[in-house]
Structures are given as C-alpha cells and as structure tokens.
Amino acid sequence: MLNDIGRFRELPSWRKDFKADWKKAMKKSVQEVLMKEKYCPDTERFVCTCPQFVISRFLICKHLVQSFQPVNPVFFLQVMRNRTTPFWSHPALIPLQTESLDNDHAEMAEGVGPTEPIMDDDLDPAEDRFDDDAVDTREGIWESEQKTFKEEMDAHIQKIRDFADGLEYQISFQDRRFLKTLQKEGAGFFRLAENCLSREHRFNSSREASPTTWESSTANAMFYRTRPRRDRMQTN
C-alpha cells in the first residue's frame, strides 16, 4: 500500500492475518447442500450459523467466504470491519448469485469506484491489534436495521411464548412420545438457551468466575448480552 509520498508501507499485522484466514477458508471443501440447509450463510448481513463463525477472530468462515465472488488484492488493503452487520464491507464483496445481474458491482470489484485506501498509519497503533475503537461504526446501517431487528426479535419472542403456553397445556396428557420429540427436535435451541442463561448467571455471580469471551463450551452464546441481576434492576 502507498503512503502520501508514494512509498510502500507495510500492511498492518491484522490485515495480514485476515488475508491468510480468508485464503485458507477459500481452499476448504464445502458441502453445498449442508451449507444452504443447515448453516444458511447470509451474505447481506455477513453472518453464518456454523460453529467456526462464532469462534473466528475475524468473524469469517468457509461458507461465507465461498459465497462471494473471488476478491482482488486491493480488497485486503481496504476492507472495513463494522460494529454491526454487515461485519465486513467492501465493493468487491459481491455474492455469487448476483454475478450475472449486477455489472456495476463487477466494475467496482475491478477498481472502479472508491479507490482511496484506508490510511492505517493515521490510526492509533492499537489498530495493529485489531482495535474495535478504530472500526467504522456505520451508524447509518445500524439505524436502518434497528427496526427490522426489533420486528424479527418480537416475532421470535411471541412465538416462543405462545409455544411455551402450548407446552404447559401438554402436561395434563402425560404423553412421553411428545416429550421425546420435543427433546430431540429442540435440542439445539435448548442448548443455546442453557448456554446463554449459564453465562448470564456466572456473569452476575459474585462467587463464580465470569465467563471468557471465547470459551468453546458456550461459544454459541457469545453475542448474548447478559441482563443485570434482579436486585440491581429493582434499585434502578
């Protein structure tokens, strides 16, 4: 990358690591059917439900990386990480399914459009350690997505509450066949609920060690924000 006097400057270490992880993910084999039916990578929001995504340092996985058209070298110099979805943004991030539909994006991927590289040397040295404080916050994206997020969450919450009422009604029938079905089909959801509540309990406990951000046993609860203790909520 060139600086303001035309000399090449070294790529920050986090960008080198990001490039290496991206290229590694590109080479991994992907089962197309499993990827679409089980993990459902979302290229618009840059999220995936696979286990690797939530434990990745850069929030990438092979399913997401291979859902985009091949990127050019400039991509690794300019790509920006955001605090909210999409976690990564750059004109060269073009989903495969839009390849034949959007010629404008294809031109941008080849260098047409914004070409001003992010001047990493102007940032705090902590950027070299992938400092989130130096990340583009993308406030406009957050505001536009906030309503949709609330609508989606409200719908999920209402469905869970309605179903919980239905489950309570099942108790009087004592039908273990349905109980086994519930335990089998709902195992993934129950694990998520248990992990989220477990992290919350440990976070609010004065006797147990607080959970670490990257612990593997509760990795799927990494983005769950813990509620304050009830006694603290009542005093506010």
87 shares a domain with 129: yes
Whether residue 233 has pLDDT greater than 60: no
* Apex 145 CA angle, 214 and 155, nearest 5: 85
146 shares a domain with 82: no
Among 35-49, 64-78, 137-151, 202-216, the least confident range: 137-151
Which residues are paired to 89 by β-bridges?
Answer: 80
202 shares a domain with 170: yes
**Count of structural domains within the chain:** 2
Q: How far is CA 49 from CA 46, 141, 155, in A?
A: 11, 21, 19
Question: Which domain-ending residue is among 118, 137, 156?
Answer: 137
> What contacts 109, CB < 8 A, 6 or more positions away?
69, 71, 72, 91, 92, 94
Q: Is 196:174 a contact under the CB 8 Å cutoff?
A: no
Q: Which residues form the domain of 204?
A: 140-235
Residue range 112-165, pLDDT digits in tens: 343 333 333 333 334 444 444 333 434 444 454 556 888 889 999 999 999 999
* Apex 137 CA angle, 77 and 157, nearest 5: 125
Write down the pLDDT at residue 94.
Answer: 94
132 shares a domain with 145: no
Whether residue 108 has pLDDT greater than 60: no
Q: Where are the beta strands (DSSP E) in the chain?
A: 80-81, 88-89
Look at residue 209 and give its three-state secondary structure.
Answer: coil
| pLDDT average, residue stretch 163-170 | 96
CA–CA gap between residue 202 and residue 225 (Å, rounded): 13
- CA-nearest of 145, 120, 149, 114 to 135 is 120
Amino acid at 208: E
Question: Which domain-ending residue is among 77, 107, 137?
Answer: 137
CA–CA gap between residue 205 and residue 226 (Å, rounded): 12
Look at residue 59 and give its three-state secondary structure.
Answer: coil
Whether residue 235 has pLDDT greater than 60: no
Residue range 33-51, pLDDT digits in tens: 667 678 888 999 999 988 8
Write down the pLDDT at residue 84.
Answer: 83
Q: How far is CA 20 from CA 27, 50, 90, in A?
A: 11, 20, 18
Question: Which domain-ending residue is among 137, 156, 176?
Answer: 137
Q: DSSP letters of 72-122? A: PHHHHHH-EEBSSSSSEE-TT--BGGGTTT-HHHHHHHTT-S------GGG
Write down the pLDDT at residue 7.
Answer: 44
Q: Would residue 7 count as lying in a domain?
A: no
Q: What percent of the chain has pLDDT over 70?
A: 66
166 shares a domain with 120: no
Write down the pLDDT at residue 204.
Answer: 84
Q: Would residue 179 count as lying in a domain?
A: yes
Read off the pTM: 0.42
Q: pLDDT: is 127 or 203 the higher one?
A: 203
Structure tokens belonging to residue 22: 């991206």
| pLDDT average, residue stretch 184-203 | 91
